[in-house]
Structure 1
C-alpha cells in the first residue's frame, strides 16, 4: 500500500496515549504516518503528572495540543475515554479519515474496530509489548524499537586533531554533498510495499516536506532532490554517529528521472 500516490489528500489524526508510551516514540510516529497524508490533528492525552513533566517538551516541540484529563477517582483513566471520544467526533464531522493511535494499550482495540466499521483507516504505533488484540484490530501496525546507545564520545586528543583538520583551508576542494539518514529511511519506507521497489520523486518530496517543513536539498549541498537521491554515498562510523552521509561521487545510474530505487549501501 502506498497511500501517498493517491489522487486526493488524506486527512490524518495522530492521537497519543501519553500515559502508556514514551515521548521518544513521537517523532517515529510522525515519520511513518506522513506517508498516508496530511496530519490535521495532533493531540496528546494524559494526566497532569504525565503532561507536565516528561511529555511537555516533546508535545511543545512537535506542535501537539496537550489534552489534560484529571483523574476524578483513583484507578479511573479518563484520558483514554477522552481520546476515544475525540476520535469518533473527528470521524463523524469528517475532520479526519485516517487515524494513527500511538499506544500499546489493548483497551483501544474496540475503538479501532468501530472506526474501521465506519470506513476509516486505522494505524497503530506501539512498542514491542503491544498485545495481538490491538495489532490485529488496526489496518497497519508500526512497532517502535528503542534506538541503541550512541557510540562513546571521542577523547580530547582525537577531538583536537579533528578540529585542527577542519580549520585547514580547503578552498580548492569542491563542496561536499551530504545526505541525511532520514532520506534513506524515507525511500526504504515508501518502497517497502511496492512491487517494483521504486518511489515517485513527487511522492518522496511531498513526504519529506510533511516530516520536515524546512527540508531543502540545498541545505545539504545538492541542487535538487533528484541530485540528492542519485548520489552514492560511503558511510564512515563518525558520519553514521552524526546522522549524515558524506558523498563524493555520483556512481548510481537511474532507470528514469521520475523514480529512484532504494539505497542498500
Structure 2
C-alpha cells in the first residue's frame, strides 16, 4: 500500500447508528481519512427514536448524511439491512475504492467479505467486543477503545502511576515474531512497512495503541530483548528496519 494509492483512494464510510458512539464521530472520520479521502458519509438508524438524539448534534458539523430506517418489528434491527443494501449499490457504482464499516455487529461479516472479494479495500471500526469473524473479514479493523481520548492517570504523592496493559490484551511479541517471519528479507532484516503489512494480514485488528504506543516502531523498540532496530535516511525520510535477535 503506497502513499500515492492512499491519497487517490476514495472511501465510503457507512455507520450503523445503533452500534456506534456519537461522541467518537470526529475520531472515526480522522482515522478513516488516514487511508483515503472520505467522499461518502452516511449513518443509518431510526431517527424517530430517542436513542438517535446524540447523533443529531454532530452530523451537520461533519457533513454526514442521516438515512432513515423505520423499525417495522420490535426486536428486529432493520438498520443493518438498509446499510448492506446501500453498500452494495455504492460498490457497483464504482464511485469509491474503499469502504469503512462502523459497527460492532457480526451481521456485517458477509458484507465485508463481499467487498474484499471485489478487490476493494475495507476497514472496520468497532468495540473490542466485535466478533472475530467480522474483524478478520476486514483488511483493517480499528477498536474504538483506541480512538477514545485517554484520561490522565491520577498520581499520588507517595507512588508514581505506571501504564499497564489491559488485562485482556495479550503480549504482542509472538504476533510480532510471526509477522517478521513473513516480512524478513534474505539479509535477515525486514522493513517496518512490510512488517506492518504482515501484521495486518495476520490480525486486522492489530494496533500499537492497544499496547500503549502510537507507532509500531516505538512498540518494537520496547522489546529490545527480541528485536534490533536500524534506521536509514532516504530523501529526508527516516526508514526503519527490524531484525529478530538470535
Question: How high is the TM-score relative to the length of structure 1?
Answer: 0.56
Task: Summarize the alignment of residues 120-199 of structure 1 with structure 2, pairs less than 5 Å apart.
Answer: 120-145=120-145, 146-149=148-151, 194=193
Residue 84 (structure 1) aligns with: 84
Gapped runs of 5+ residues in structure 1?
153-191, 198-253
How far apart are 1:258 and its partner, in Å?
Answer: 4.3
How far, CA to CA, are the matches of 2:45 and 2:79 in structure 1? 5
Q: Which runs of structure 2 are paired with 1:25-64 in the superposition (5 Å)?
A: 25-48=24-47, 49=49, 52-64=52-64
Residues in 2 aligned to 1:45 and 1:7: alpha-carbon distance in whole angstroms: 26
Contact 1:19/1:50 (<8 A) preserved? no
CA contact (8 A) 1:51 1:68 kept: no
How many residue pairs are counted as aligned between the two chains? 166
CA shift, 1:148, in A, is: 3.5
Show the counterpart of 2:169.
none
From the superposition, tell whether residues 130 and 52 of structure 1 become closer, same or farther in structure 2 (CA, over 3 Å).
closer
Bigger Rg over Cα? 1
| Alpha carbons 2:46, 2:68 under 8 Å: kept | yes
Q: Distance in 2 between the 1:50 and 1:110 partners?
A: 30
| Equivalence for 1:176 | none
Query: Which secondary structure does the structure 2 equivalent of 1:194 belong to?
Result: helix
CA distance, structure 1, for counterparts of residue 112 and residue 98 of structure 2: 11
Q: Does 2:237 align with 1:259?
A: yes
Q: CA shift at 1:28, angstroms?
A: 2.1
**Deviation of the 1:261 alpha carbon:** 7.2
- Which residue number corresponds to residue 66 of structure 1? 66
Per the TM alignment, residue 40 of structure 1 is displaced from its structure 2 partner at its CA by: 0.9
2:26 and 2:113 map into 1 onto residues whose CA distance is 26
Aligned Cα root-mean-square deviation (Å): 2.8
- Contact persistence 2:7–2:37 (CA under 8 A): no
Q: Is there any run of 5+ residues in structure 2 with no aligned partner, and where?
A: 155-190, 197-231, 241-246
Write the deviation string for residues 167-220 of structure 1: whole angstroms up to 9, x where unpaired. xxxxxxxxxxxxxxxxxxxxxxxxx962599xxxxxxxxxxxxxxxxxxxxxxx
Q: Structure 1 residue 19: deviation in Å?
A: 0.3
Deviation at 1:84, TM superposition (A): 0.6
4+ runs deviating over 6 angstroms: none
Q: Structure 2 CA distance, aligned partners of 1:91 and 1:60? A: 25
Q: CA deviation at 1:9?
A: 1.0
